[in-house]
Amino acid sequence: MEADISNSNFHSAPGLTIKFILLVVLALTLMAIDYRKTESMAPVRTLFSILAYPLQWSVDVPFRVYNETATFFTDQTNLTLENNTLKDQLRLYEARYQDMVVVEQQNERLRHELKANPRDGYEFSMAEILASSGDRVRRIVTLNKGTRDGVYEKQVVLAGGRIYGQVLSVSPFSATVIQLTDQRHAIPVRNQRTGFTTLALGTGKTNTLKLDNVILVEDKIQEGDIFVTSGLDELFPADFPVARVVKDGINYDQSSQFAQITTETLVNFEQTREVLLMWPKKSQGVKSEVATPETTGDKPIGQPASNSAVHHATTPAQNHSAGTTPTTTHTAPTRKTP
């Protein structure tokens, strides 16, 4: 051992420093390109996410095995009980669905009479959360479905009828989803009680969104108010529940005119393992409302582009005029009824 130490020159490592400098420059270049033009690095990202897929899959195996064995060893009586409750629920929902069909038909007829755009439905598909980003700051998860299953970028992801997030990037077998609570995510919301619209920003903390710079007039926002999507960004469909104002969540600093409002998401991100992917149903090929990718750049994703918000706001007025004066032809510049 002694001879070993004295024989080797510990200050020499041939070519090491050169290689180090080379790799540092390479990494810095990659970072700069990825920061400025994320889409140009998409092939590299896709390549590495295909390589990473087996790792994520192998991490998920124990959980899946546990779930399967747990299902296998469930008590017979428990299963029967559960089955019965589910059947009851199904009957209830069947009745409600019948009602819904009637309402839907009525709605379609009325829209037709008003010469309004037909309402598009949605199709859903389940996906499982394969892995969550180990990063403490980001709120990003990986799903086990990808382009192979028709997943696309900026697709809306739900969890039990509530908004979960949106698809950030897709590879053939998997997709990464950014949750509402990620620091750089923003979603336009509307107070269900008062109709007040604002942006809900992610905080990076579990199940917490904040509404920034709200000017409080009268009781626009109260504790326990529920915020739903406003649909102003034309990405998230309108009227899906998002968050609730927590107790003592309204902080009003006397020195500034703005209030800070803390809300908790209605999805429990900690315990969600299965999510719903949402596809707009193509009805008579009218318009491509949801699948309009807008380059976000440095803005938080999901923030409404100004033109789209204006565009959306003008639509009801056009409908109204078309409804009251049926002789004038409805000439909305971008959306046309067939």
Partner 1 sequence: MTPVTPRFFGAVVVSMLLAVILSIIPLPEPFQMWRPEWVALALIHWALVLGHRVGLWMAFIIGLLMDVLHNSLLGQHALELVMVGYLSIRLGGRMTPEAYFQQFALILAVLGLYMLLSLWIRGVTGYAQAGNTWQYWAPLLSSLLIWPLYQWALSYFYNQKKGL
* Closest CA relative to residue 183, chosen from 138, 214, 213: 138
243 in Cβ contact with 265 (< 8 Å): yes
For the bound state, the minimum distance from the C-beta of residue 172 to partner 1, rounded and expressed in Å, comes to 14
Residue 106: HSE in the Cβ half-sphere, 13 Å Cα cutoff = 6
Query: How many residues belong to the chain?
Result: 338
Query: Which residue, 27 or 95, has its beta carbon nearer to partner 1?
Result: 27
Taking CB under 8 A as the rule, which mask of x and - marks residues 207-246 in contact with partner 1?
Answer: ----------------------------------------
Under rule CB under 8 A, which residues in 266-285 are in contact with partner 1? 270
Of 31 and 100, nearer to partner 1 (C-beta) is: 31
Residues 57-116, interacting with partner 1 (CB under 8 A)? 58-59
Residue type, 34: D
Rounded to a whole number of angstroms, the minimum distance from the CB of residue 337 to partner 1 is 41
Based on the shown chain and the rule CB under 8 A, indicate whether residue 313 belongs to the binding site for partner 1: no
Stretch that binds partner 1, among 31-39, 185-193, 242-250, 303-311 (CB under 8 A): 31-39
205 is an interface residue for partner 1 by CB under 8 A: yes
CB 281 within 8 A of CB 123: yes
Between the alpha carbon of residue 305 and those of residues 37, 39, 152, 234, the distances in Å are 19, 19, 20, 9
**Which positions from 8 through 27 interact with partner 1, judged by CB under 8 A?**
8, 10-11, 13-14, 16-17, 19-20, 23-24, 26-27
133-192 residues near partner 1, rule: CB under 8 A: 133-138, 140, 168, 176, 183-184
Long-range contacts (CB closer than 8 Å, 24 or more residues apart) made by 192-201 = 192/225, 192/226, 192/227, 192/228, 192/241, 193/222, 193/225, 193/226, 194/219, 194/220, 194/221, 194/225, 196/220, 196/221, 197/230, 197/232, 199/303, 200/227, 200/242, 200/243, 200/263, 201/300
Count of positions on this chain that bind partner 1 (CB under 8 A): 53
Write phi, then psi, for 112 (nearest 5 degrees): -65, -40
Contact residues toward partner 1 (CB under 8 A) are 1, 4, 7-8, 10-11, 13-14, 16-17, 19-20, 23-24, 26-31, 33-35, 41, 44-45, 48-49, 51-52, 55-56, 58-59, 131-138, 140, 168, 176, 183-184, 203-206, 270, 298
